[in-house]
Every structure is written in structure tokens, then in C-alpha cells.
Amino acid sequence: MEKEIQERVSFKIIRYANCWEDAEILIKSLNIKEGTKCISIASAGDNSLALLSQNPALVLAVDLSLVQIACLELKKIALTNLEYNQLLGFLGFKEFLDDRLDVYKKLKGFLTDKSREFWDNNHKIISSGMIHQGKFEHYFHLFRRFVLPLIHSREKIRLLLEDKEQQERIYFYNKQWDNFRWRLLFKLFFNRFILGRFGRDPEFFRYVDNLNVSDRLLKRTEYALTVLPTNKNPYLNYILNGNFGDILPFYIDKDNFDKIRNNIDKLEIFQGTIDEALHSYNICFDAFNLSDIFEYMGNTLFYKTASELIKYANKGARLSYWNMMVPRKISEILPDNIRYLKEISENLFSHDRAFFYKSFYVEEII
């Protein structure tokens, strides 16, 4: 996100307590090796932490929002200082018998002043499990509590998430899931107005053309419920059940815990625009996790930002990013500097478990 959106949207709340972008396809796209310098949009911090599992030389996590930076910092110090099961309980991935605020008091001294001030003023978020306290997570809570029960029973949801072959998933969706209530209430709840008001922000749709948002989201959701294995999708599990269960996001999965913690000192955090971060560090990067920042930019700012990214990219560097509603593609506006890796992009996108997006682009500096 850039100053253009900063001037129009409040960043005083947690917008995302989790990263709703699939870290597995992100990591595969960026081709990170030992010594790679990465720059990453922070958001809730999950994917910036996930990049550490590949043993890079640096991950520079950047965000405009002090609140989102505070989320990343809290996850970072918790991951650094807590044992694995305590970490899961403290953040909210499972029930926690201890007092989360007592744990926080032991961790707060490791936070920067601004992040500590935010969390000191928001003890309720910590005590409730911080991964459930973002605006986007509250939006899914509304869907799960008030809309989903009107469509399907808990037993039907359990059956949806069972391990099945693809043909079985297609049959189940067509015969048992895809009824009139599902289509009607999905389109009502995930329309542009409701999504903007309760899930994201109306300003995030400024550059969206006359697009039927709910129809496109329904089509992508059908793909996630039929083509992709439903029993291995952490994002789907959270939306339908209110937590990730045993299918955890990449950064918090036990198999990745030690690798990330051992590289935690390679994570640096910058509050500001990505342009400001590039100018401040004044080094060239090999891997760029750009999230979906171009969604919130007009064409002029998009061109300016893309040009700056290329200026601070090494030859062969990879840039990965999502489009949700607004079509943005760097290689179309700067074809002499960067090329679109079509086969890699399409193959990875076909496995994208965070199914809200309409495209995923992997591009490479020529």
C-alpha cells in the first residue's frame, strides 16, 4: 500500500490478523536460496516469517500500518521466546489454559516502543487470541455465525472437509452443497458493499470496474471446494470452523518452526511505503513478495512504484503478487525490464488455497 491509500483509509485497527495469501505458492514462486535478499509486504506477518524458512540473507518486512507492524512484532517475539505448544495457545491457534496477558507481560520488553504501546492499549485482543481479532477475521465470524447455519448443518460442513478424491468432491458439491440457499446467501453476504463495509474497506474497491464481485468469488470458491483438496486447506477450515485446526499456516506449522526461529535475526521490519523502504536501505533485492498492493493504486502510482521496484532489483530477481479485483501486471507496462513467467504463474495459481484472488503473477527481471 502507498500513501495514496494511507490518506483515504484508517490504519488504526487490525485489518488482517492472518495473511490470507498462500505462503506455499509464494515460496515456490520466489526461488529463494541461501543468501537471497527478500523484501516482503508485512500484513499480519505470516508470509514474511515463512520466507525465513528458506534461509535467506535478509527478509525486510514493510507495511504502512503501525498496527500491522505490531502484529508481526508480536508474532516474531512469541515465536522467538515461547515453546511451540505455548506459542500456538498464546496466539489463539488452540485453547490456552494459561493467562495470555501473563505471557504478554513477559514478552512486551522485546517489542519496539510503538508496538508495545499498541498492545498495552489492547489487552483484550491478546487475551482473546490475536489471530482472531482482525476486521477480516470478524467478517468471516459473521458469515459463520449468522449466514452459514441458514445454508448447511455442521454435519454437512464436516462432510465437505473430509478427505475425498476430486471426482467425489465435485459430486458432493453439485449434489449436496450447491443449493439455492448457498448461491443466494453467498452472493448477498460477499457482495461489494458488504465486503467493503465489514471485511475490507470501501476504498479498497476504488479502482474496481463494474465487476460483479460476488459472482467471481463464488466461482473461485467452487474451485476451492471441488478441484483443491478441502481437507488440506487452512483458509477454508478457518472460514467454516473458526480456526485452522490441524491444517496450520506455513509459518506456524511444526515442521517449519525451528527453521524459522533459527533465522529470526534475518528479519528486519520497516514501517512506511515500499518506496521509502527501498530508498532507506538502498540495496538491491532478489525476491519481492508484493502481496496485492497494486489493487489500491491508480495507474500513475502503479507505474511509479513498479519502476522503483525494478530499480532496486538484481538481474534475475523475482516479483510475486496477487490480483483480486483490479488487473495489474508489471510486465505489461514495463516489458523491457521484466518478463512474465506464465507457466510458473498459472501452475502455482492452480494450487492456490487462498481462493479469493483472480490471478497470481510471477515475474522476473531481465
What structural domains and CATH numbers belong to the chain? 3-131+257-365 (3.40.50.150), 135-241 (no CATH)
C-alpha–C-alpha distance, residues 207 and 303, integer Å: 15
Q: Is the pLDDT of residue 8 over 50?
A: no
For residues 314 and 359, the answer to whether their CB atoms sit within 8 Å is: no
pTM metric for this prediction: 0.93
Q: Which DSSP symbol is given to 265?
A: G
Listed residue (343, 347, 352) closest to 322, CA to CA: 352
- Least confident piece of the model among 23-27, 155-159, 291-295: 291-295
Concatenated DSSP letters for 187-213? HHHTSHHHIIIIIS-GGGGTT--S--H
- Least confident piece of the model among 58-62, 104-108, 160-164, 355-359: 355-359
End-to-end CA distance of the chain: 25
Helical H segments across the chain, by residue range = 3-6, 23-30, 46-51, 66-81, 84-91, 100-107, 113-120, 123-127, 135-142, 154-160, 166-172, 180-189, 192-194, 213-226, 234-241, 254-262, 274-281, 299-311, 330-333, 342-349
128-182 pLDDT tens trace: 999 999 999 999 999 999 999 999 999 999 999 999 999 999 999 999 999 999 9
For residues 134 and 125, the answer to whether their CB atoms sit within 8 Å is: no
The phi, psi pair for 237, rounded to 5°, reads -60, -40
